[in-house]
Homo-oligomer: A and B are copies of this chain.
Amino acid sequence: MSETASRPRGLDALMAPASIAVVGASDDATRIGGRPLRYLLDAGYAGRVYPVNPHRATVQGLPAFASLGDIGAAVDLAIVAVPAAAVVATLEECAAHAVGAAVVFSSGFAEMGGAHGGGQHAMSAIARDSGMRILGPNCLGHYNAGVGVFATFSSAIELDRPCAGPVGVVSQSGAYGGHVAFLARSRGVQVGLLITTGNECDVEAAECIEWMARREEVRVIAACAEGLRDGDALCRALHTARAHRKPVVFLKMGRSEVGARAAMSHTASLAGRDAVYDAVFREFGVHRALDTDEMIDIAYAASFGILPAEERLGLVSVSGGMGIQMADAAERNGIALLPMPEATQARLKRRLPFASPVNPVDITAQVFNDRALLDENLDAMLEEGGYTALVAFFTYVAGVAFMAAPLREAMARARARFPDRLIVLSIVAPADIVRGYEAVGCPCFEDPDRAVRAAATLSRYTRAFDAAPRTAASSDLPAPVSLRAGQMPDEQAAFAMLVEAGMPAPPLHAAADAEAAVRAARTLGFPVALKIRSAQIAHKSDVGGVRLGLDGEAAVRDAFTQMLARVRAQAPHAQLDGVLVAPMAPPGIDMILGVQRDALFGPVLMIGLGGVFVEVLEDVVLERAPLDAPLARAMLRRLKAWPLLDGARGGEPVDLDALCAAMVALSRFAAANRDRIESIDVNPLRVFARGRGAWMLDALVQPCPLPPPA
Contacts and interface: CB of A to CB of B under 8 A. Distances in A.
A558 interface: no
A400 interface: yes
Contacts of A108: 354
Given A290-B449, A428-B182, A321 B256 contact: no
Nearest to A291: B449
Contact of A321 (B107, B173, B255, B400): B173
A489 interface: no
A259 B324 contact: yes
Given A319-B174, A321-B266, A183 B447 contact: yes
B328 A179 contact: no
B447 A292 contact: yes
A28 to B, nearest CB: 14
Contacts of A255: 328, 331
A311 interface: no
A257 interface: yes
Interface in A417-446: 428, 446
- How many copies of this chain? 2
A365 B175 contact: yes
A319 B173 contact: yes
A263 B111 CA distance: 54
Contacts of A292: 325, 447-449
A397 interface: yes
Given A395-B182, A396-B159, A616-B644, A176 B325 contact: yes
A254 B324 contact: yes
Contact of A327 (B183, B258, B327): B258
B428 A395 contact: no
Interface in A252-305: 253-260, 262-263, 265-267, 290-293
Contacts of A226: 321, 324
Interface in A462-496: none
A337 B174 CA distance: 24
Interface in A397-411: 397, 399-400
Contact of A356 (B179, B224, B266): B266
Nearest to A266: B320
A643 B395 CA distance: 47
Interface of A: 107-108, 111-112, 155-156, 158-159, 171-176, 178-179, 182-183, 186, 224, 226, 251, 253-260, 262-263, 265-267, 290-293, 317-325, 327-332, 337, 353-354, 356, 358, 360, 362, 365, 395-397, 399-400, 428, 446-450, 612-613, 615-617, 640-641, 643-644, 649
27 contacts: A108-B354, A155-B396, A155-B400, A156-B396, A159-B396, A159-B399, A173-B320, A175-B320, A178-B395, A253-B321, A253-B325, A254-B324, A254-B328, A258-B330, A262-B324, A262-B358, A266-B321, A266-B323, A266-B324, A290-B449, A291-B447, A291-B450, A292-B325, A292-B448, A292-B449, A293-B449, A616-B649
